[in-house]
Structure 1
Amino acid sequence: MLDSKSSWILAAYTIIFLTGLPANLLALRAFLGRVRQPHPAPVHILLLSLTLADLLLLLLLPFKITEAAYDFRWPLPEVVCALTGFVFYSSIYCSTWLLAGISIERYLGVAFPVRYKLSRRPLYGVIAALVAWIMSFGHCTIVIITQYLNSTQNATENSNFTCYENFNDTQRKFVLPVRLELFLVLFLIPMMVTIFCYWRFVWIMLTQPHVAAQRRRRAVGLAVVTLLNFLVCFGPYNVSHVVGYISNQSPTWRAEAVVLSSLNASLDPLLFYFSSSDVRRAFGKGLQVLRRQGSSLLGRRGKEMAEMTNGDRGVSQAEGAPSSDFTTD
């Protein structure tokens, strides 16, 4: 029987997976089409990289769901724990610097529009994305190192094995200072860069008289969603690093903070929506397909109900009324 903590974390991971996966797949299709065109903008390469990071995280959520279902006792081999944690946390931290890169691109595009258009190259987006991936994966090797550093747990011998959570003294002396460094380099610095760039970006967009109201609203929406990503999704998890360093142990609420970090995979599609007309069109087409399928399903069901009603003389008009509603819908 799961306790309340495991139950809500299991539900949260499941909802994030079910909502984030289709939205990010739609965004992936849109960005792939955009970067295949001649001379793609660096921001589209960064947005494509962010989509890939989100999809990587989402594809690993079934392992986190399994972990929560077993009340945080890791039921799989220890090597799977190490690899899952390594890629999972790398994708989270890759997102922070990719978001910072997107904010820099947006700010430069409105602050120095002519100079930026003349000097922008797709190569710059590729380099920025590679730097974000290398920094995140390089830093998160801590997960694998810590898991095997003087480890006293063994998944095959101990049914209470926990994944990257309970550390011995040797592991804590290594992992807590590195987590503090993660907070500074992979969260605080990109957050400060992002806040500055979007503050300038929004201010310019709102003060320029020739900017259309719709573009202004999208600019504000883009800044708000990105800020929510940092404060709501990444903030609590990274604050847990500071608390753990001060208290010399992982805080008890760290598992909940990890769930919030995963939430960014569901929030990023909103960012994609505000950022790219290609994504807006893709989402619009997706909604149209769902609407047509729903209408077709309801129409078929309505016809079946009408045939049953006409064939059964004992059915009253009141019982037959819903069929015309389905057909009309």
Structure 2
Amino acid sequence: MWNGTSLQACELNLCLSVYIITFITGFPANVLAFYTFGRKVWKKPAPIDILLLNLTISDLLFLLVLPFKMQEVANNMIWNMPYFLCPLSGFVFYMTIYNSTFFLTAVSVERYLGVAFPIQHSLRRRPIYAVFASIFIWGFSMIHLSIVYIMSFYNPPGTGSAPRNICYDGFTDAQLQILLPVRLELCIVLFCIPFLICSFCYINFIRILSRLPNIGRRRRLRAIGLALGTLLVFALCFGPYNVSHVVGFVTKESPEWRDKALLLSTFNACLDPIIFYFTSAAVRNALGAMVRGVWNKCRCPQVLWSSKKKTPSETEKSGLPKPQEINAV
């Protein structure tokens, strides 16, 4: 039977604020990153650019289904849209979250191999390997997160039914018996193992980089800061939500704070572009060109307006020739 105890109460102002901020800041930043990495991969594909392009696509998919979550929260967690959109949006929502953990881990492996085995890695470095890795990550995440889609329609006879106006929540006891162990497996396979690999790669990346004498201090500090920042984002964005899986498995129900922990995971979509900015010179150049273009467009009307508003006294002070002086010449 439906126990009715697992409904999540996402606070309206808090959840909407996080979703809106994430969407407003994350969408344009990821569009810029997608354009930049797309051009680089089209012209001269490099493994790290292919991985970052896939991470950007994953974040954009996440941001595209975020409005469904906004609508759900604004409607007090009642799903009033066509029900088929519930499992579909939920599947994309959670799948792209775990996609991020794998692609961030793949980027850490690529960066570690580049400094630990520079010669061997440069000789064996092939873009096709990054393509295969990306296909594997997408497929692996889709298979594991298909549980989100399945649970929305899983309803054994005689067990009662979860309310149809609740999206991926309010599970029956029969559903929880399947869902809670799967969540624990997601925590171990899709978070703990990638986090351990990412930590190993970046800790050794920092250790090796700090010993290299031929790298400038500024470049070294930026690379070390990027590694530490990525680990921090990894732990803060994905850690609490995956801990809720462990707590749910032990207590046999979804913890009440699970939705608040999920909010931290949503922030990852607007934090990834920061990683892109420090990882890729192409992103920095594209952002700089965009900022200069906007600045020039905003500045030109001001220059023209200020030149039109000059008084005769200002013309005299500027040292420019007066009209009668021009005629005299």
**TM-score with structure 1 length normalisation?**
0.86
Q: How does 1:257-272 map to 2 (within 5 A)?
A: 257-272=261-276
d(CA) in 2 for partners of 1:24 and 1:184? 28
Q: Which residue of 1 aligns with 2:138?
A: 133
Match for 1:124: what amino acid? Y
Which segment is superposed worse, 105-114 or 253-262?
Answer: 253-262
The CA deviation at 1:266 is: 0.6
Matches within 5 A, 1:214-293: 214-293=218-297
How has the CA–CA distance of structure 1 residues 152 and 41 changed in structure 2, closer, same or farther, with 3 Å as cutoff?
A: same
Aligned to 2:85: 80
Find runs of 4+ consecutive structure 1 residues off by over 4 angstroms.
296-304
Deviations 1:192-223 (A, max 9, x none): 00000001111111111111122212212221
**Given the alignment, which residue of 185, 192, 195 partners 1:191?**
195
Whichever of the two has the greater Rg, that structure is: 2
Name the counterpart of 1:322.
none
Structure 1 distance, partners of 2:166, 2:220, is: 48
Partner of 2:71: 66
Match of 1:163 in 2: 167
CA contact (8 A) 1:165 1:250 kept: no
Asked if the contact 1:28/1:51 (under 8 Å) is kept, the reply is yes
User: In the alignment, is residue 29 of structure 1 matched against residue 35 of structure 2?
Assistant: yes
Superposition deviation, residue 55 in structure 1: 0.6
- In 1, are the aligned partners of 2:102 and 2:190 still within 8 Å (CA)? yes
Cα deviation, residue 298, structure 1: 5.1
Q: 1:4 and 1:113 mapped to 2: Cα distance?
A: 48
The residue number in structure 2 matching 1:152 is: 161
RMSD: 1.9
Q: Which residue of 2 aligns with 1:142?
A: 147
Structure 1: which 5+ runs fail to align? 156-160, 311-329
Judge conservation of contact 1:6–1:69 (CA < 8 Å) in 2. yes
What is the one-letter code of the residue matched to 2:266? Answer: S
Secondary structure of 2:11's aligned partner: helix
Letter in 1 for 2:106: G
1:205 pairs, out of 192, 206, 209, with 209
Q: Tell me which of the two structures has the higher relative contact order, counting C-alpha pairs closer than 8 angstroms and 6 or more residues apart.
A: 2
Offset, 1:288? 1.5
Secondary structure, aligned partner of 1:284: helix
Distance of 1:299 and 1:239 partners within structure 2: 56
Q: Deviations over 1:56-101 (max 9, x none)?
A: 1011111111111111111212211100000111111011111111
Aligned partners of 1:303 and 1:69: how far apart in 2?
Answer: 50
Matched residue of 1:207: which SS? coil
Query: Structure 1 residues 68 and 298 mapped into 2: Cα distance closer, same or farther (>3 Å)?
Result: farther
2:18 matches 1:9: no
Going from structure 1 to structure 2, the CA distance change for 1:110 and 1:260 (only over 3 Å counts) comes to same
What TM-score do you get using the length of structure 2 for normalisation?
0.86
* 1:289 Cα deviation after fit: 2.3
Whole-Å separation in 2 of the counterparts to 1:300 and 1:260 = 46
Structure 2 partner of 1:316: none
Alignment match of 2:182 (pick from 178, 190, 208): 178
Conserved? CA contact 1:6–1:72, under 8 Å: no
The alignment of Structure 1 onto Structure 2 pairs a total of residues equal to: 299
CA distance in 2, matches of 1:18, 1:44: 24
Name the aligned partner's letter for residue 162 of structure 2. Answer: Q
Shift of 1:105: 0.5
Q: Determine the structure 1 residue equivalent to 2:126.
A: 121
Q: Which amino acid aligns with 1:15?
A: I
Match of 2:246, SS state, is helix
Q: Which runs of 5+ in 2 are unaligned?
A: 1-8, 312-329
1:93-104 aligned at under 5 Å gives the runs 93-104=98-109
Match of 2:319 in 1: none
> 3-state SS of the aligned residue for 2:210?
helix
- How far does residue 301 in structure 1 lie from its aligned partner after superposition? 7.3
Checking the alignment, whether the CA contact within 8 Å between 2:162 and 2:170 is kept in structure 1 is no
Offset of residue 302 of structure 1: 6.3
Rounded Cα–Cα distance in structure 2 between residues aligned with 1:247 and 1:290: 54
Contact residue 163 and residue 170 of structure 2 kept, 8 A: no
* Post-superposition CA distance 1:13-70 (Å, at most 9, x none): 00100000111111111101111124x2211110100010111101111111111111
Contact 2:36/2:286 (8 A) holds in 1: yes
Deviation of 1:154 after TM superposition, in Å, equals 4.8
